Structure 1
Amino acid sequence: MQNNNRFILLPRKVFVIYIIATLALFLFGPIKYQHIGIIECIYVCGYMLVFLLMSYYAYSRGVNKAGKKIKMCLRFGKKRIESLDLVKFSILYSVLLYGLLIVQNSSVHGRISFNTFNFFNTMAQSYTDIEYQMTLAGRLVCYTSIFKVLALIGCIYYWKDLKVLYKILTACLVLEIVLNNIFFIGSQKQLVDLFIYVLVAFVANIIRDGFRITRKIKIMLAGIIVVAALVMGSTIAARVSMWETKYNAVGAGLPIGTSLDTDNILYKVLPEFISLPLAFLSGYLSQGYRGLALCMSQPFVPTWGMGFSFKIMNDFAQWFNIPLSTIAVSYPIRMEQTYGIGAYSNWHSIFPWFASDVTFFGALVIVATFIYLWAKTWREVIDTCNLWSLLLFAQLTILVLYIPCNNQIFQTRESIVLTLFIYFGWRLFRGMPRVRSI
Structure 2
Amino acid sequence: MQSDVGMLGMKRNKVLIKVINLYLIMTIIYYFFGRYDWTIPSNLKLFIYLVLLLLALNIGYNFKYRFAISHRNNHLYNSVGFMKKERKVFLISCFSIIVFQIAWVITVLGSFDISNIFSSLGENYYERLSFTTEESVFIMQLRTILWGLTLFAYPIGFIYFNKLTKVEKIIFLTTITIDILASLNMGVSKPIGDIVIILILSLLVKKGENKKTNNLFSNIKLFRNIAVLVISFIIIFGVIQQIRDDSTDTQASTFENPYSKFADLRANTIFDIMFLKNDTILKVVDRMGAYISHGYTGLAFALELPFENTYGIGFSRALIEYTEQYTSISVNENTYMERIEVEYGWPNGVYWPTAYTWFASAFSFWLLPFIMFFLGYIIKRVELRYREYGDIYSLALLSQLFILAIYLPGNAQIFQSRAALFGTLLLIFLYIYTGRKYEK
For the criterion TM > 0.5, the same-fold answer is yes
Q: Which TM class, normalised by the smaller chain length? A: 0.7 to 0.9
Asked if structure 1 preserves the Cα contact closer than 8 Å seen for 2:14 and 2:208, the reply is no
Give the share of equivalent positions with the same residue, in percent: 20
Matched, 1:175 2:177: yes
Secondary structure of 1:328's aligned partner: helix
AA partner of residue 129 (structure 1): E
AA partner of residue 65 (structure 2): K
Matched, 1:254 2:253: no
Partner of 2:106: 106
Partner of 1:44: 46
Partner of 1:427: 432
* Cα distance in structure 1, aligned partners of 2:343 and 2:43: 19
Secondary structure of 1:305's aligned partner: coil
The structural deviation recorded for 1:360 is 0.5
Partner of 1:126: 124
**Is 377-386 or 248-257 further displaced after alignment?**
248-257
* Cα distance in structure 1, aligned partners of 2:59 and 2:103: 49
* Cα distance in structure 2, aligned partners of 1:431 and 1:217: 34
The aligned length equals: 411
Secondary structure of 2:366's aligned partner: helix
Asked if structure 2 preserves the Cα contact closer than 8 Å seen for 1:206 and 1:212, the reply is yes
* Cα distance in structure 1, aligned partners of 2:239 and 2:291: 12
The structural deviation recorded for 1:108 is 5.4
The structural deviation recorded for 1:291 is 1.0
Asked if structure 2 preserves the Cα contact closer than 8 Å seen for 1:84 and 1:154, the reply is no
* Cα distance in structure 1, aligned partners of 2:387 and 2:96: 32
The structural deviation recorded for 1:394 is 1.0
Q: Identify if the C-alpha distance between structure 1 residues 370 and 123 changes in structure 2 by more than 3 Å, giving closer, same or farther.
A: farther
Partner of 2:326: 319
CA displacement 1:140-179 (0-9 Å, x = unmatched): 3322222222122122223333321111111111111111
Q: Identify if the C-alpha distance between structure 1 residues 391 and 92 changes in structure 2 by more than 3 Å, giving closer, same or farther.
A: closer
Asked if structure 2 preserves the Cα contact closer than 8 Å seen for 1:200 and 1:394, the reply is yes
Partner of 2:194: 193
Asked if structure 2 preserves the Cα contact closer than 8 Å seen for 1:386 and 1:432, the reply is no
Asked if structure 1 preserves the Cα contact closer than 8 Å seen for 2:314 and 2:361, the reply is yes
CA displacement 1:418-438 (0-9 Å, x = unmatched): 1111112111224878xxxxx
Q: How does 1:393-432 map to 2 (within 5 A)?
A: 393-430=398-435
Asked if structure 2 preserves the Cα contact closer than 8 Å seen for 1:69 and 1:431, the reply is no
Q: Identify if the C-alpha distance between structure 1 residues 17 and 95 changes in structure 2 by more than 3 Å, giving closer, same or farther.
A: closer
- TM normalised by structure 1 equals 0.84
Asked if structure 2 preserves the Cα contact closer than 8 Å seen for 1:300 and 1:359, the reply is yes
* Cα distance in structure 2, aligned partners of 1:281 and 1:355: 25
Q: How does 1:15-414 map to 2 (within 5 A)?
A: 15-34=20-39, 36=40, 40-61=42-63, 64-68=64-68, 84-101=83-100, 102=102, 105-106=105-106, 109-113=109-113, 117-118=117-118, 122-130=120-128, 131-132=130-131, 133-134=134-135, 135-183=137-185, 185-205=186-206, 212=213, 214=218, 215-243=220-248, 246-248=249-251, 250-252=253-255, 254-255=258-259, 257-267=262-272, 269-322=276-329, 324=330, 327-414=332-419
Asked if structure 1 preserves the Cα contact closer than 8 Å seen for 2:382 and 2:394, the reply is yes
Asked if structure 2 preserves the Cα contact closer than 8 Å seen for 1:384 and 1:431, the reply is no
The structural deviation recorded for 1:335 is 1.1
Partner of 1:75: none
The structural deviation recorded for 1:369 is 0.6
Secondary structure of 1:361's aligned partner: coil
- Structure 1, unaligned runs of 5 or more: 71-81, 434-438
The structural deviation recorded for 1:327 is 4.5
AA partner of residue 177 (structure 2): L
The structural deviation recorded for 1:371 is 1.2
Asked if structure 2 preserves the Cα contact closer than 8 Å seen for 1:402 and 1:408, the reply is yes
Secondary structure of 1:360's aligned partner: coil
The structural deviation recorded for 1:115 is 5.1
Q: Identify if the C-alpha distance between structure 1 residues 202 and 149 changes in structure 2 by more than 3 Å, giving closer, same or farther.
A: farther
AA partner of residue 28 (structure 2): L
- TM normalised by structure 2 equals 0.84
- Structure 2, unaligned runs of 5 or more: 71-80
* Cα distance in structure 1, aligned partners of 2:419 and 2:413: 11
The structural deviation recorded for 1:56 is 2.1
The structural deviation recorded for 1:103 is 5.6
Asked if structure 1 preserves the Cα contact closer than 8 Å seen for 2:360 and 2:368, the reply is yes
* Cα distance in structure 2, aligned partners of 1:48 and 1:274: 28
* Cα distance in structure 2, aligned partners of 1:227 and 1:115: 21
The structural deviation recorded for 1:205 is 4.5
CA displacement 1:336-393 (0-9 Å, x = unmatched): 1011111221111122222223220211211221111111222222222222222121
* Cα distance in structure 2, aligned partners of 1:91 and 1:353: 32
* Cα distance in structure 2, aligned partners of 1:272 and 1:241: 18
* Cα distance in structure 2, aligned partners of 1:371 and 1:4: 15
The structural deviation recorded for 1:396 is 0.5
**Is 153-162 or 394-403 further displaced after alignment?**
153-162
Partner of 2:76: none
**Is 14-23 or 126-135 further displaced after alignment?**
126-135
Asked if structure 1 preserves the Cα contact closer than 8 Å seen for 2:109 and 2:124, the reply is no
* Cα distance in structure 2, aligned partners of 1:209 and 1:13: 17
The structural deviation recorded for 1:260 is 3.2
Secondary structure of 1:307's aligned partner: coil
* Cα distance in structure 1, aligned partners of 2:165 and 2:350: 44
Asked if structure 2 preserves the Cα contact closer than 8 Å seen for 1:97 and 1:137, the reply is no
